[in-house]
Structure 1
Amino acid sequence: MRNRLSLVAVVAAIILIICCACGNTSSPAEAGSEIAIEDFTGRSLGFDHVPERIVALGNGEADIIYALGGNLVGRPTSELPQSLETLSEVKQIGTAHEVDLEKITLLHPDVVLGNSPMNTKDIPTIESIGSKMLLTSANSVHEITQQIELFGKLLQQEDRASELVDQINGQLAEYKAAVAANSPKVLLVYGAPGTFMAALPSSLGGNILELAGGVNIAADYPRLQSYPQYAQLSNERIVQANPQYIFIMTHGNAEQVKESFLKEMADNAAWNHVDAVKQGHVEILPNDLFGTNPGTRVMEALTLMRNQLSAS
């Protein structure tokens, strides 16, 4: 009798295990299936689980990962926008321009989110420490929505990513339907004290400007080889185009940059004949929205630009 009861218990245990296995509702990544993605350079990357330790080299990437509920263990060495203040204790690891490999190594990240083409050279180094580098870019609103979708797939948060993208596309559709009849001419400048460049339509700032209804007077300027989204300033062409607005974008100290730019204009009397100067329409744009990729906040940047262009 005792042997018979033992046999019954064993059979019951086996049945219970089989039932539990059949009822397993884990996500594909949790069940051992690989998460296969392709970054903006066409490189294929595979992950056997949802990355739990993520390093972002840019605030825009950090913003998107945060919005999708991902776990950031490393963030850029830069001032955080108010929307990301909760990440203030996250380790700072340099920037896309200057990667601090030693700090990144100590964090043991599953993946490092970098910029294409800027961080292409860093791929072998990141892979040498056992991590993977995922490269994207944000030279337009559309590319930011592509970033959101890609990171959503990486984190298995496709539904949340779709919600964020739908919000952006919905606002874009409303803006396109209400384009102003008279588009003001604008010079969009990016730089630091002593070094200034004109932003082309192929840059994020240039794309936002056009979507906001402005005319970029530097649209046909020859691009710089080292910074293909920007062009060298031409005093003669700027004066001839006579922009109604001049907007300045920067990573650095806003007031110092504006003061430096105004000094350069003062050294050339021809600038005094430009409408933007005569009307006092020379403004610094917020660096958290225009000096870097604003991530999910890109429509805030577009709204601000529209409001600036409608100012009297």
Structure 2
Amino acid sequence: MNYNFYNLNKAVMACALIPLLLTGCGAGSDPWEGQVPASQFASAKETSEAATITVTDFAGREVTVPYPPARIVALSNGDMDIVHALGGHLVGRPTSSAAEENLADIEEVGTTHELDLEKITFLKPDLVLGNAVLNTKDTAMIESIGSHMILTEANSASDIQNQIRLLGKVLDQNDKAEELVQSIDGKIREMQNAKLSSQPRVLIIYGAPGTYLAALPNSLSGNLLELAGGVNIASDYPELDSFPHYAQLNTERIVESDPELILIMTHGQPEAVKEGFFKEMQVNAAWNGISAVKDGQVHVLPSDLFGTNPGTKVTKALDELRSLLEEAQ
């Protein structure tokens, strides 16, 4: 979808036409009031003089950006997907991202873990979207090249919905954003109304070569598992100080819980991660007595849906989980 970007004259005309949407143009209520937590977007406003909007991002920062931004760099798959779904103009995307075919030619600019400042500078974005935990340290650097940075994160389906609303506000696509939010609500209601005959016991593992951690309910995958109807056996595992959404695997407790389904998520190299995990299990024969292992219910989740924030595709992630849960019943 193409956008008509506001210059000064158009912004003034817009003030006369749509005062309810542009709070800087005079009286009129904010159409998002009461729909989003006040702490999330408490100070959103638009000013006709500079064609900007001020929002509060997920790190609690008030950020003023061009309204709407003409050139956007996304450092995560979730933000990339949401901007694309809302019709925003992406000029930079995450390196090695699972991009749709029509996004494949967009310049790769690194990731939230390690952004490529030289490439970002060359692209001259109005707005760079980063992660609230990983990229707070990078905001000054991004601002030094004349760009603006909004920080987001997603540890639940609700967080993704708030991401959509925030970016919908920035892109002047409130109605479209609400449609996407409602589609997620609809999928969640579908899961709730079509309950499983039983709730399979599930262990979700985040895997990288040589590293395996259990996903907790406060993680995105843990939240989606509960919404899909599964029971997370690691729900009471102690969280790691450095990774509070994950816990160390505890073989004794896993064997005691006897999960019926083991799901492995990874950012990349899924087969290598699965092979490494099976080698880890072979070291301890106790794993062989677990129902999920005996019944062949050990699966690697699609990395574009679970190795990262899936954005609007969270509905597909829920469908994937429900299908696996039904198979494991």
Q: Secondary structure at the match of 1:36?
A: strand
* C-alpha displacement of 1:79: 3.7
Matched, 1:44 2:52: no
- Identify if the C-alpha distance between structure 1 residues 22 and 106 changes in structure 2 by more than 3 Å, giving closer, same or farther: closer
Deviations 1:92-121 (A, max 9, x none): 000001111111111111111011111111
Corresponding residue number in structure 2 for 1:296 = 312
Does 2:111 correspond to 1:111? no
Q: Are 1:279 and 2:295 counterparts?
A: yes
**1:1-312 correspondence runs (5 A):** 25=17, 28=22, 31-32=48-49, 33-81=51-99, 84-312=100-328
Q: Quote the Cα distance in structure 2 between the aligned partners of 1:295 and 1:77.
A: 17
Residues 196, 326 of structure 2: 8 Å contact kept: no
The aligned amino acid for 2:114 is E
2:299 maps to amino acid: E
What is the deviation of 1:139? 0.7
- CA shift, 1:41, in A, is 1.4
Which blocks of at least 5 consecutive residues in structure 1 are unaligned? 1-19
Q: Which moved more, 1:29-38 or 1:236-245?
A: 29-38
Tell me the CA shift for residue 85 of structure 1. Answer: 1.5
Secondary structure at the aligned position of 1:206 is classed as: helix
AA at the equivalent of 2:59: T
Give the CA deviation at 1:285. 0.4
Note the residue ranges of structure 2 that are not aligned, 5 or more in a row. 1-11, 23-45
Moved more, 43-52 or 262-271: 43-52
User: Which amino acid in the other structure matches residue 39 of structure 1?
Assistant: D
Map Cα deviations across residues 15-58 of structure 1 (whole Å, 9 max, x no partner): xxxxx979964884694353121101111111243111111000
What is the alpha-carbon distance in structure 2 between the residues aligned to residue 243 and residue 192 of structure 1?
21
Give the match's secondary structure for 1:311.
Answer: helix
Post-superposition shift, 1:309?
0.6
Count matched residues: 291
SS at match of 1:222: coil
Partners of 2:52 and 2:68 within 8 A in 1: no
Q: Which one has a larger percent helix, Structure 1 or Structure 2?
A: 1
Shift of 1:75: 0.2
Cα distance in 1 for residues equivalent to 2:14 and 2:245 = 53
Pair member with larger Rg? 1
Letter in 1 for 2:170: L
| Alignment root-mean-square deviation, CA | 1.9
CA change 1:22–1:309 in 2 (3 A) is closer
Partners of 2:311 and 2:83 lie apart in 1 by 9
Letter in 2 for 1:251: H
Deviation at 1:250, TM superposition (A): 0.3
Distance 1:90 1:107 in 2: 11
Q: CA deviation at 1:212?
A: 0.8
1:230-274 CA deviation, whole Å, 9 max, x = no partner? 111111111111100100000111111111101100111010110
Please, what TM-score do these two structures have when normalized by structure 2?
0.85
- Please say which of residues 22-31 and 98-107 is displaced more in the overlay: 22-31
How far apart, CA to CA, are the structure 2 residues paired with 1:49 and 1:300?
31
* Structure 2 Cα separation of the partners of residues 304 and 21 of structure 1: 47
Residue identity in the other structure for 1:304: E
Partner Cα separation in structure 2 for residue 157 and residue 311 of structure 1 = 39
Aligned structure 1 segments of 4 or more residues deviating by more than 6 angstroms: 20-24
What is the identity percentage for the equivalent residue pairs of Structure 1 and Structure 2? 55
Please give the TM-score of this superposition, normalised by the length of structure 1.
0.89
* 1:164-197 superposed Cα distances (whole Å, 9 cap, x missing partner): 1111111211211222242110000002121111
